[in-house]
Amino acid sequence: METKHDRLPVRHVAILTEYDGSKFNGWQAQALGRTVQQTLVKALEQLTGQNDIALYGSSRTDAGVHARGHVSHFSARTRIPAEKLPLAMNSLLPPDVAVLAAADVSEDFHAQYHAKGKSYSYRIWNHASRPAIDRYRVCHVPVKLDIEKIRQAIPLLVGRRDFSAFVDGGSCHRNPVRTLSDVTLDADGPRLTFKFQGDGFLYHMIRILTGTLVAIGQNKLSGQDLPVIIAAGDRARSGKTMPPQGLCLERVYYDPPLFDDFFFQIYSNRSERK
């Protein structure tokens, strides 16, 4: 028998989420282990009374990787306005994942396939003593790095390149060509933050790029080695894959923009506090 709920129109909604990946076995749902996708779907099904919600993500982050600006989308019959959905979902979610914003989108919108680019950060604690409070949010590199050598090498990564040397086995991507539009390194004492922005990234690409730049800072590689490594496309020549906890998905970009008002508010407030 048809109910009032069945007569509700199907809505298509995108949500912006952040999560601490420390206790998640990645984003994507799987048979074993706790995942972000399954956690969000459970909350959505509780809210809507549906048990068949499919949630599609912009990025399938690995276990231990964090996100400040992950985007996903779903379709459901619900009366809850988009602006009230974050509070409603957050009341059902655990403390290590939160919905920051939501927006109604077109039926053909896809969080992954319509993404024009992404930005990530990788954080390092470069000090002899290991971190305690941030141990699940930074990678500890005890040997002091040569920051100037790393910064001199960074421009060699920017542009459209074949990044075959910076992808681990298991990648589902057939085309290794990607465009890095911006790479930076911010140093605040022992706190180092690498930032990467590009049109897309290969499996473990950022963690390997960071590992290669760290190797340059340790004088294990030189900046002059980068063009040779890129040209050879040989994974054995690049740096190690850095641990997951330093990596964070910062933002996913769309055209037309999605959730720009939220990010503008966040970054404007940060600028005012400086």
Distance CA 170, CA 154 (A): 26
The residue type at 191 = R
Which is nearest to 56 in space by CA: 22, 20, 15, 18?
A: 15
> Which two three-digit tokens encode residue 243?
């641990």
Which residues touch 10 (CB under 8 Å, ≥6 apart)?
Answer: 75, 76, 77
Question: Distance from CA of residue 90 to its chain's centroid?
Answer: 20
Beta-bridge partner residues of 161: 178
Which is nearest to 237 in space by CA: 247, 248, 224?
A: 224
Alpha-carbon dihedral sign for residues 55, 60, 61, 62: positive
Let me know if 62 is a catalytic residue.
Answer: yes
Angle at 195 between CA 167 and CA 255, to 5 degrees: 85
Task: State the catalytic residue, choosing from 62, 134, 199, 225.
Answer: 62
Distance CA 71, CA 67 (A): 10
Which residues touch 144 (CB under 8 Å, ≥6 apart)?
Answer: 126
Distance CA 173, CA 171 (A): 5
- Catalytic machinery residues: 62
